[in-house]
Structure 1
Amino acid sequence: MPSPTTPLVPEPVRRLAAWCAVVLLAAGVVGIGVWLCVVFRTAVTPVLLALLGTALLGPLHRRLVRMGMRRSLAAVLTCLAVVAVAGGAAYIVATALIKTGDQILGALKQAGQELAEHFGAAGASVRDLAAHAQGLLARLGGTAASGLLSSLGAVGAMTATSVLALLLMFFFLRDSDRAADALRSLAPRSTGDVVEAMARRAYGAVEGFMRGTTFIAAIDAVCITAGLLVLRVPGAVGLGALVFVGAYIPYLGAFVSGSVAVLVALADRGWAIALWTLGVVLAVQMLEGHVLLPMVQSRTVQMHPATVMVAITAGAGVAGVLGMLFAVPLTAAVSGVVSEIRARYAEPAAGPGPESPA
């Protein structure tokens, strides 16, 4: 019979129960937070877009402020730069896709027919996907009243979201010097330093991810577009624009855009040019994976590819394409917070024992 001082539950079991309670509590808080974000996605989406834009263009704003410009004027100029760059890029991408969209979709359908003759179901799936995409584009660009109204509604919602995100980005840039004081006022006095440090680490991770991803996307798009132009693949500029946009969804976006380029080359130029296109895509991906990503991630928070893929899958399941776009920056922010907590609360290494008296 155990003595009165012996606990009924062993110490390892109690520790396991405590950790299970902590994990369940954290999972519940995260689940409620995700549910609230989905419910209020109309308001959450502009905030997240503004935060990503602020993280990307924050260095430009800080440089203008260091040059002696007022914070409000610097924020206005930064926002105008966003409008000019994003508007110009959107115009170039849209123009390229509109001019070559039918050609790309026709090449995909032809590639699907050729693959269906050799591989059966796989080629039929590609052909059906191209047909559905062409039908969707036809419905979006149709002149029927219902299609026009739905298109106008979608454009209006996107415009409202973009304008709200731009206004929020202006305020985030202008008042960024007050963010630390705002966090300290919300946090208890004893945890103000910790909350500020975690917020700075999370924001730094997102800032590094956005700058690095934009840099990598530009290099990928330029290299692949140049290769496609040399190989005389139709719709090279549109495919390059697709590569640039897809680069903001790591791994999956590069795979999809590269596959589309190879299929278009297969349909229009034959197997030889398709293999050369595949070589160009693989060479660019090797450059990204072995040179660009290590160089970029060495200056930001490092995430394992498996973590990125799980985050993208979870984001797609929660919020579709927007979830895939926001999943990796949010994961980078969480990883930065975890790293800060681990650095602050890790057990100190055991130092040398006390010196023995002489």
Structure 2
Amino acid sequence: MVLGTFIVSFIGNSFVQNAQESQLVQSLLPTQPMRRQVLVLMYFFMILGIFTLLGVLTIPDIAREGADFVNRLQSDNIWVILVEKMRRGVGDQVMTSLEKAVYLATSNDIAAAALQEPQVWSAERSTQLGLAVSSMLKGYTSTAAKYTGLFLKSVAKFSLQALVSLILGFLFVWDMPTISRGMSSLATSRLAPVYNEVAPMLLVFGQLFGKALQVQAQIAVVNTALTAAGMWLLAIPGMGLLSLFVFLCSFIPIMGCIISTIPIGFVALTEYGFVKLAMIIVMVAMVHFVEAYALNPAIYSAHLKLHPLMVLSVLLIAEHNAGVWGLLLAVPSTVFALDYVIRYPDHSVREVGERELSVIKKQPKATASQDVPQSDDGPGGSPTALKPALQGS
């Protein structure tokens, strides 16, 4: 909810600030306070309209597809279907070897009898092997069904949190000038030493994280649209639920691609077999190739100068220690820490922030000696000098 409020507020405030500079808006709404209030109302009415439209069109399908997915996970027949698909894909000889391994792992009388009497492949033999696999993986299947059910139940909770985030975001954006003046007044209060030390870092990191989320949100929308189009062309069932999962995973750099592909591949394998699974893998690879080299030219590895191996390492550590919050905050935090602590130890926070913001906006990097004006307040910079530079970005 906190993250949602931040995203809604940041994007909304950026939209209002940019729209206020439009000559058309200035001619229609000459009064500054009224202009901002009308733009804020337009922004949030647009969000509510989009959510309402998506809810009416997709929520019934997502609920139905999710319930069907849970039922299929809890059904023994799914393993029979999977065995038959595997046999057609790898052949009888390879499947016979796999059958022996499964029966040896089960260690029961029926398995021993089946191993002693080789038979030609038939529907009965596939059913028997499917039931054996089901008995082996029963615990894992129940766990998968349990977590899928929990995911579906969390949709209502997520919707409520999104509504609260919208309300809080509306209040923040509506009263942002007053909030900004109140925060700036801390520079002349008894908390001035703490404010002067903490405010620059928080302001730079907030701008950096917000800009990264803006770019990632645009990429997530296009990535979801391309993946949904690919699933539609390949006739993959459950496209609504899978597309929602792809969209959410698109905010996780690098690992989101792997996570979102697993349920799509599982559905393709159980419905059509290995050929369709291979086609899904090719389709996903093409989508993420477009994402990496056309939509998002390595935003986390090239633009932010962070090696993909470091991205993966940071994400694994952050997920283990902080969960979803860690996955979302790991990369911006690492970039900020590397730049401020290691790469540019002699630069102020303002200079480091302007470097990163110029990279995210695909502008040439500013150099500390030429393009970035030096601060008179020492290496830490001044919050009052920092705000105009970042707001101008």
TM bin, normalised by shorter chain, reads 0.5 to 0.7
Deviation at 1:57, TM superposition (A): 3.2
Alpha-carbon displacement from aligned partner over 1:31-69 (angstroms, at most 9, x marks no partner): xxxxxxxxxxxxxxx333211222233332224434244
Distance 1:251 1:88, change over 3 A: farther
Give, in whole Å, the separation in 1 of the partners of 2:346 and 2:8: 28
Hey, what does 1:97 align to over in structure 2? 62
Instruction: State the Cα distance separating 1:107 from its structure 2 match.
Output: 7.4
2:252 equivalent to 1:249 = yes
TM-score, with structure 1 as normaliser: 0.63
Q: Hey, what does 2:165 align to over in structure 1? A: 165
Query: Is 1:214 paired with 2:217?
Result: yes
Residue 348 of structure 2 corresponds to residue 344 of structure 1? yes
Pair 1:238-2:245 in alignment: no
The answer to whether the Cα contact below 8 Å between 1:198 and 1:340 also exists between their aligned partners in 2 is no
In the TM superposition, what whole-angstrom CA distance separates every residue of 1:142-169 from its partner, at most 9, and x where no partner exists?
A: xxxxxxxxx7xx7886566444422321
| Matching residue within 255, 261, 264 for 1:261 | 264
Structure 1 residue 76: Cα displacement: 3.2
Query: Any conservation in 2 of the 1:242–1:257 contact (CA below 8 Å)?
Result: yes
What CA distance in whole angstroms lies between the structure 1 residues aligned with 2:225 and 2:164? 31
The equivalent of 2:20 in structure 1 is 65
**Match for residue 288 of structure 1 among 288, 291, 294:** 291
User: Following the alignment from structure 1 to structure 2, what is the Cα–Cα distance between the partners of residues 192 and 340?
Assistant: 23
Q: Which consecutive unaligned segments of at least 5 residues does structure 2 have?
A: 88-94, 106-132, 352-367, 370-393
**Contact map agreement 1:205 1:300 (CA 8 A) in 2:** no
What is the letter of the counterpart of residue 56 of structure 1? Answer: I
Moved more, 48-57 or 59-68: 59-68
Deviations along 1:20-39, whole A, 9 cap, x unmatched?
A: xxxxxxxxxxxxxxxxxxxx
Q: Compare CA radii of gyration and give the structure with the larger one.
A: 2
- Which residue of the partner structure matches residue 145 of structure 1? none
Range with bigger deviation, 217-226 or 326-335: 326-335
Give the direction of change, closer, same or farther, for the CA distance of 1:176–1:196 in structure 2 (3 Å limit): farther
1:82 shift after superposition: 2.7
Q: TM-score, normalised by structure 2?
A: 0.58
Using the TM superposition, give the Cα deviation of residue 103 of structure 1 relative to its aligned residue in structure 2, in angstroms: 4.6
User: For residues 127 and 314 of structure 1, what CA distance do their matches in structure 2 show?
Assistant: 31
Cα distance, 1:239 vs structure 2: 1.9
Counterpart residue number, 1:52? 7
Looking at structure 1, the residues matched to 202 and 151 of structure 2 have their Cα atoms a distance apart, in angstroms, of 42
CA contact (8 A) 1:183 1:195 kept: no
Count of residues paired in the alignment: 292
Q: How far is the alpha carbon of 1:87 from its aligned partner?
A: 4.6
Deviations 1:60-84 (A, max 9, x none): 2224434244333433332333333
Question: Percent identity over the alignment?
Answer: 19
The 3-state SS of whatever aligns with 2:297 is helix
Deviation at 1:137, TM superposition (A): 5.2
Letter in 2 for 1:251: I
C-alpha separation in 2, matches of 1:138 and 1:343: 50
Cα deviation for residue 322 of structure 1 reads: 4.6
SS of equivalent residue, structure 2 residue 296: helix
Q: How does 1:192-211 map to 2 (within 5 A)?
A: 198-211=201-214
What does residue 145 of structure 2 align with? 134
Query: How well do the aligned residues superpose, as a CA RMSD in angstroms?
Result: 4.3
* Aligned mates of 2:222, 2:151 — CA distance in 1: 31
Does the Cα contact within 8 Å between 1:103 and 1:234 map onto a contact in 2? Answer: no
Distance in 2 between residues matched to 1:54 and 1:298, nearest whole Å? 27
Q: Distance in 2 between matches of 1:231 and 1:196?
A: 51
Structure 1: stretches of 5+ with no match in the other structure: 1-45, 142-150, 350-358
Distance 1:93 1:241, change over 3 A: farther
- Contact 2:246–2:260 (CA under 8 A) maintained in structure 1: yes
Deviation, structure 1 residue 96: 3.7
Aligned to 1:173, what secondary structure does the other structure show?
Answer: helix
Which amino acid in the other structure matches residue 257 of structure 1?
S
Cα drift, residue 128 of structure 1: 5.1
- The 1:265/1:157 distance shift into structure 2, 3 A limit, reads closer
Q: Indicate if the aligned counterparts of 1:225 and 1:236 stay in contact, CA closer than 8 A.
A: yes
- Which amino acid counterpart does residue 8 of structure 2 have in structure 1? G
Distance in 1, matches of 2:202 and 2:141, equals 44
